[in-house]
Amino acid sequence: MVALSQSPLTPDEYLQLETESVTKHEYMNGDVYAMAGASDVHVTIAGNLFALLRNHVRGSACRVYISDMKARVEARNCFYYPDLMVTCDERDRETSTYKRFPKLIVEVLSDSTEAFDRGDKFTAYQALDTLEEYVIINTRHQRVECFRRTPENLWLLQTYTPESEIFELKSLAFEDEIAALYEDVELEPTSTPPN
Q: Say whether pTM exceeds 0.85.
A: yes
**Helix (H, G, I), strand (E, B), or coil: what is residue 167?**
strand
Domain covering 38-181 assigned CATH 3.90.1570.10 in the classification: yes
> What are the residue ranges spanned by the domains of the chain?
1-35, 38-181
Instruction: Report the pLDDT value the prediction gives residue 1, as an integer from 0 to 100.
Output: 41
- Taking only the tens place, the pLDDT of each residue in 70-120 is 999 999 999 999 999 999 999 999 999 999 999 999 999 987 778 788 888
Strands 102-108 and 133-137: parallel
Kindly state the DSSP code that residue 25 receives in the 8-state scheme.
Answer: E
pLDDT in tens, the chain (195 residues): 444 555 789 999 999 999 998 889 989 999 998 888 788 999 999 999 999 999 999 999 999 999 899 999 999 999 999 999 999 999 999 999 999 999 999 999 987 778 788 888 999 999 999 999 999 999 999 999 999 999 999 999 999 999 999 999 999 999 999 999 999 999 977 765 555
Using alpha carbons, select from 185, 179, 107, 182 the residue that is nearest to residue 146. Answer: 107
Exposure string of 5-24, with b = 16+ CB inside 10 Å and e = fewer, is eeeebebeebbebbeeeeeb
Kindly state the DSSP code that residue 23 receives in the 8-state scheme.
Answer: S
- What gap in Å lies between CA 104 and CA 125, rounded to an integer? 10
Instruction: Report the pLDDT value the prediction gives residue 126, as an integer from 0 to 100.
Output: 97
CA angle, 118 as apex, 13 and 72 as ends, to 5°? 25
Cross-strand partners of 27: 32, 79
Instruction: Report the pLDDT value the prediction gives residue 131, as an integer from 0 to 100.
Output: 98
Instruction: Report the pLDDT value the prediction gives residue 5, as an integer from 0 to 100.
Output: 56
